[in-house]
Structure 1
């Protein structure tokens, strides 16, 4: 998988900034006081820059750049404007401005006494994501020796993307032989990355504070990688194998195959995948860090490719349907984060993995299937498949684990994009307390979320003449009727929320914390929700 850039923390005191190669980044508050350690020529040039009108008009969190500054070995100086008292979102934005321009060489970031270093470095790491697994590299690049990296000063703290001891500290979980992941080739070499050094007043404290964000970045990157993978690689089996590999982090992971799903009665889920050569699966991941209380359940839609089935989609844009497993990808990323940071909570993550293909065995419009719950569903549109996958997995999650609350995530409807665009995900919930906590967590994480209504009147749109319900209500209120469908598979008195992430999983352009491509939306929100609900006691 892609790993975030490694960040080292070293003391700022007496640092010689004139000799730092590559890029030099100065994080300045509104006083724009330049740090010590700059030669006179550079101090004069940078002083003119921060006294200019362009600096005064620069928005907080934004950057100004000066190429080949006088008196410095650095090729460029990046000036970041970050006011004192900046909140987490603004600090991450400032870090993202660094990550977007850091390139592949040496980067030195100079932070003042009141700089929120951990949030800044999280933004830097997230924006520095690059998925290059399928980019061919010149042979010369593959054999070129790594450049010498200056030795760290005695007080330095090497800060990787997650705690160095994360695997050795993890409790070993013996896998059942039938669940063993297939033999896989060794992970390809990581592409060359920038080498980032943060100079600050207390590097050891900064490194400790940043560890939690490092685990979070790992989880976000894991989600982004999964969404980026092509469907000929990320089959249902490959997806399950990648989740099984997280046992080494201390997660309990099991895979339910088609035989077991048939025995359980998950006919709605199985109907979606019956036209594919890839076998349908449900993967259960458990993190037990919170004692004996009931777990918090996360459920994700994992359609590894969605042609629409017999109700086939238009060809234009269908290549993006590799992202239809985005909900499952977020659940996997959250579970990875929880394990890496040793969360003090009980969380179970369940993902339904299927492929929706138009085959001679594929389900047809007009078919009627019976769900695990026992309700019958008339399939009027085979492209409304995600809700059928979630229906069975939601019921199974409640039946087996009796969770304290359930949150499901899915790239479920195009209708939510029409309603909210690519800035916000849609939230539907039967519980005002859970909905409020999710909105608060999303706001703290800087991820857009908007609550949309549920109401009995919308049930009329999914009434079926032949079955208990039909799987689509058509275009009117399309995201709402999908949520109404899911709500029928939630037990009475179980707090539940549905997040429709179709618009935020793979937006058309870059975002503040991500280059163009998948965002990993939801990992930070759900990690924050779990912290606030279960770990703040």
Structure 2
């Protein structure tokens, strides 16, 4: 049963904009602060209920903070089944995209708990901007995500919200920003779907097939097979995949939405569709999670869908390094020496340090062919990054410190946070090899930085940053916008990075 997906991915929640309340609608949502202050439209709707706000707020403990709610069933004088009053915090509090995405997630959760099918959300508070409205919609879309494809016996029969209408004074002025934000949320949800897919149904060629669907959106897609990679000298990537009956693939995607001849910005994703550790086999406990070891490639694929869907004015390259790491009789071994596309030889210390090997060839190929203005890779690369940062921040390693600063800024704005960690010559000493130019592992101390230093050997002089998402890519704690196992981390981060630093001729 091959994995099939249409592009763009269908959404479970539709979001529209209107100047007036739709009729009929299952629920109407208003926002207020702790003093009961509402926008003029919301205040007029509340007045129609004839209810004393102060008395109800006291009885329900409503203080206007985010997450607070007053739920009024069958409000008098109104055609809706429910009237929900939600807290928006103090004026000026949380006025950024990440906070409004959280508000959107909380909004969907409240509506979902109330089992309403549709809702009109009145947005008339001061300081409203197109970006904030877009973030609200994206947050709701992300919270609505569920991966229930294979739950044949326990699919929920509960009514979930399927349509939201944002009621605004000037909906046309908000549409572009909302469409942009929903495109990014769609790319994130595509990445989540791919990470959640079982590895028996999503191998390297299946994931390449998903990438090929982006051609319908205007993305140019090439797929290199093992013969082509062999001709290019990609000995590191081929070594990782040689133990699997499903051969590796390298996918090259180009979105040319910028000026003709503009130097592209490049994104490279680690795509190990399943990682047993190879001959250096992993412990059995939690190995099932290694179906998510292609989270970096999923993020790059989701990013390219988002850029094409919103017609981003940028030239971007996305490369997926796809392989399966299995302990077959043909598998590569500890002690082997392989030659990367760069010509550098690598002694294999652990076959479980395979992600850096596929990235080595992908990064070299990317910089050699495209000469990008900047190159970013994203990977579930090391357990060490989880020890260092937990599951709230991804790690950033770079040969150009300014890239770390721009990534951190994009992370704060998007809510996908990153932290800058070091690489440098001291780490080179740890990957010196007696039998080859370098080795693929350098000990337990500083493991994430050692991996970053290894990758730095394959980027030449291109400004480059590596994002390690082993702690943030899947299995992290739930939040207002994430209740699924897979997070889709990286799509929103990179989209914001592009928007702020590389798009529209920047």
TM-score by length of 2: 0.90
**Gap regions ≥5 residues in structure 2:** 1-8
Indicate the residue corresponding to 2:81 in structure 1: 74
Q: 1:216/1:82 Cα in 2 relative to 1: closer, same or farther (>3 Å)?
A: farther
Q: CA deviation at 1:126?
A: 1.5
Instruction: Give the superposed CA RMSD.
Output: 2.4
Q: CA deviation at 1:535?
A: 2.1
Does structure 1 residue 88 correspond to structure 2 residue 97?
yes
Does structure 1 residue 135 correspond to structure 2 residue 151?
yes
Distance 1:227 1:120 in 2: 25
Match of 1:299 among 237, 259, 268: 268
Match of 2:249 among 261, 281, 297: 281
Kindly provide the CA deviation profile for residues 336-356 of structure 1, in whole angstroms up to 9, marking residues without a partner as x: 111111111111000110000
Does structure 1 residue 203 correspond to structure 2 residue 187?
no
Pick which of 295-304 and 452-461 moved more: 452-461
Indicate the residue corresponding to 2:36 in structure 1: 32
Indicate the residue corresponding to 1:63 in structure 2: 68
Indicate the residue corresponding to 2:199 in structure 1: 231
Match of 1:112 among 103, 120, 124: 124
Q: CA deviation at 1:39?
A: 6.8
Does structure 1 residue 5 correspond to structure 2 residue 5?
no
Q: CA deviation at 1:516?
A: 3.1
Kindly provide the CA deviation profile for residues 188-227 of structure 1, in whole angstroms up to 9, marking residues without a partner as x: xxx9752212222222223333111111111111111111
SS of corresponding position for 2:443: coil
Does structure 2 conserve the Cα–Cα contact (< 8 Å) formed by 1:2 and 1:221?
no
SS of corresponding position for 1:101: helix
SS of corresponding position for 1:100: helix
Kindly provide the CA deviation profile for residues 134-160 of structure 1, in whole angstroms up to 9, marking residues without a partner as x: 22279998xxxxxxxxxxxxxxxxxxx
Distance 1:511 1:532 in 2: 25
Kindly provide the CA deviation profile for residues 311-361 of structure 1, in whole angstroms up to 9, marking residues without a partner as x: 111111111111100000111111111111111111100011000011111
Q: 1:95/1:82 Cα in 2 relative to 1: closer, same or farther (>3 Å)?
A: farther
Distance 1:84 1:125 in 2: 25
Does structure 2 conserve the Cα–Cα contact (< 8 Å) formed by 1:41 and 1:70?
no
Kindly provide the CA deviation profile for residues 391-446 of structure 1, in whole angstroms up to 9, marking residues without a partner as x: 00000001111111110000000000000000000000110221111111111111
Distance 2:400 2:50 in 1: 57
SS of corresponding position for 1:304: strand
SS of corresponding position for 1:223: helix
Distance 1:414 1:224 in 2: 20
SS of corresponding position for 1:337: helix
Number of residue pairs aligned between Structure 1 and Structure 2: 482
Indicate the residue corresponding to 1:404 in structure 2: 373
Q: 1:325/1:467 Cα in 2 relative to 1: closer, same or farther (>3 Å)?
A: same
Q: CA deviation at 1:26?
A: 1.4
Indicate the residue corresponding to 1:496 in structure 2: 464
Distance 2:50 2:214 in 1: 49
Kindly provide the CA deviation profile for residues 440-471 of structure 1, in whole angstroms up to 9, marking residues without a partner as x: 11111111110001121111211111111111
**Gap regions ≥5 residues in structure 1:** 142-190
Does structure 2 conserve the Cα–Cα contact (< 8 Å) formed by 1:425 and 1:449?
yes
Matches for 1:450-489 after TM superposition, within 5 Å: 450-489=419-458
